[in-house]
Amino acid sequence: MPSPPSCQPTHEARMAPAAAGGRRVWDEGGGRCGEWWWWAAAVVVAVAVLMPHNTSGNIDLYMSSHETHRLLGLVAELYYVREGVVNSYALDFIVPVPANFTYIYFTWRSLIKRPIQYMAHVEYDNGEAMAIPQLNISNKGLVPTRPDTFSVSLPCSGRVNAEVLVNLHINITTHNRAQNLTCITIKRKKICLKEEFAPRNESIYLRPEWMSTSLGTLYVAMGAACTFTVLVITIASVLYLRVKRSRTQASLTCRYYSGPGYMGDTSAATTGASGRGGASLRSNSYATIASFKKVPILTHEKKRKAKASWRDPRQMDPSERVRRLAIDRWKVEVGEVVQEGTFGRVYRGVYRDPYARAALTVIIKTVSGEASSAQARMVVREGLLLAGLHHQHLLPVLGVCLSDPRHPLLLYPHLGLSNLKTYLLGCSRGSSEGVKLLTRDVVHIAIQVCLGLIHLHQQRLLHKDVATRNCLIDSELQVRVSDTALSRDLFPQDYHCLGDNENRPVKWLSLEALIHKQFTPANDVWMFGVLLWELTTLAQQPYIEVDPFEMAAYLRDGYRLAQPNNCPDELFGMMARCWAPVPEDRASFPHLLSCLQDFYSALGKYI
């Protein structure tokens, strides 16, 4: 066989802009290089399809036809291990991964009923061009008995142009006496391109004494403002008392507690250049402050007794709530796919109620035919988190259709909403309809999320997964907090299994939730701090350089997310207060809301 032509990309190929999104991607179609990859891939797939079978085999490990088509443009399954027979030719072939692909997917399953143990780890040869690759499965465990898909993230740093060789090593413990250990190495070559402005995603060490007073500039500014305000009010009061002593006290009391001065300059807060968000704050500022001020202040004894009253609908029997929300299948019309994962699907659809004047456009969450009954039950259980709640910044499920229990349908009002994390990623790529988020817009979004979580806590409910992926946003930057149904499937890179067969948002969890699985309102506050960091970085991955198994030790040693480049000190001070190691030292949501609203008003004064 003649030696293959050189596949080193030219400068033009490396820097060719993508057709959509404006990113530079690998140009695989140009010249003999693209033809060579396609020809070699076709041979590998042909050998994988025609390789002999062994009925005494133990596992299957392959790339699905969808993944093969995505990477190689071929519609066929590429088997690395088929019924226990290892395809050495496929393992020797190095599959290129274009620059615009961050995740690669594999499907596997055990073919016997006895448990088969595995160990997996990833190696790569260029730490400057690529951050640490991550598996969304644990490093060791049991091979699933049903076809299951796992992913490997290959995040480029954006600092240099390079071809990074990545090896995925999987060791399978078989039941063959002659050879009880099978070692499999899958090779990939990730193309990484240099970006002019590489995103910053680092960590910093926060000393405990600094964290307790980390609001810094915000406290100084607020203290100076309060001192000046008190001085002005005192002088005005003395002068006014000399004129009308009998009427002054009541007038001043009314003005101070019910006038616009409580929220600062409300005219400035509602007349920004973009005009977004003003109406929301105008209609909710005073009512919101009044509402959360009415929440009784609990003593330590009352707090101890109230801990048992916090509810988690995910651990409750959903039968009664499903009966209240049940709808007939014939009333639902499923439309186009909006988002999809391994087993989950999100559709746009129509709900036709004969008693309503018009049909209602809805979002439909469901599962595919590949989902197990356990996954279908989990989607329903998590979709009922906000059921029955009514608040303008929450999005509870509208109805549930269980005519086919294996394919439940969860209906939500559409309202022109899209996923907040997807929206932020579009802003970072410049593809979200030309929208450029300002600092004031970010604070406005945070205020709405905070309002929704305050109402949730007033109902004695914990969210336990506060993140941008579980929020929705419309074109007017109106935000609603949603439940966690399908989040693990639609955003697998945000969840990790630490050897306990439970996918958790490890890099969003507080220290006590990560180590002891203790969930309190303070854990939601911690996660809200990470959400603030997501907003200011346009949905970057937090702690991308930290292995999920090292997160507990990392946080215990005092390390936290670093301040983003464009993040004001006041906003980062609020984040740091959310990440205090002791739950009692963290800021409460009412306190965070007050700080965010004051900061929003202060930003409006300079627009």
Residues acting as catalytic residues: 465
How far from 263 is each of 147, 260, 594, CA to CA, in Å?
56, 6, 9
Instruction: Decide the pairing of beta strands 162-173 and 117-124.
Output: antiparallel
Cα separation, 321 vs 243, in Å, equals: 64
Residue 137: partners with Cβ closer than 8 Å, 6 or more residues away: 120, 150, 497
How far from 127 is each of 120, 456, 503, CA to CA, in Å?
19, 43, 27
| Token pair belonging to 3 | 């030696």
Q: What is the dihedral of CA 600, 601, 605, 607, to 10 degrees?
A: 40
Helices and strands per DSSP (H, E), number in the chain: 20, 23
Beta strands in 132-199 (DSSP E): 134-135, 140-142, 148-153, 162-173, 181-192
Provide the 3-class DSSP secondary structure of residue 189.
Answer: strand
Are 104 and 188 in contact by the 8 Å Cβ rule? The answer is yes
Q: What is the longest distance spanned by two Cα atoms in the chain? A: 105
| Token pair belonging to 533 | 């960091």
Q: What is the dihedral of CA 601, 605, 606, 607, to 10 degrees?
A: 90
Are 571 and 456 in contact by the 8 Å Cβ rule? The answer is no
Are 90 and 78 in contact by the 8 Å Cβ rule? The answer is yes
Cα separation, 141 vs 481, in Å, equals: 34
- Give the count of beta carbons closer than 10 Å to the beta carbon of residue 55: 7
Are 503 and 487 in contact by the 8 Å Cβ rule? The answer is no
Burial group, residue 75, by CB count within 10 angstroms (0-12, 13-18, 19+): exposed
Rounded to an integer, what is the distance from CA 500 to the centroid of its chain? 21
Beta strands in 302-396 (DSSP E): 332-340, 344-351, 360-367
Cα separation, 90 vs 110, in Å, equals: 20
Cα separation, 576 vs 554, in Å, equals: 16
Cα separation, 547 vs 133, in Å, equals: 9
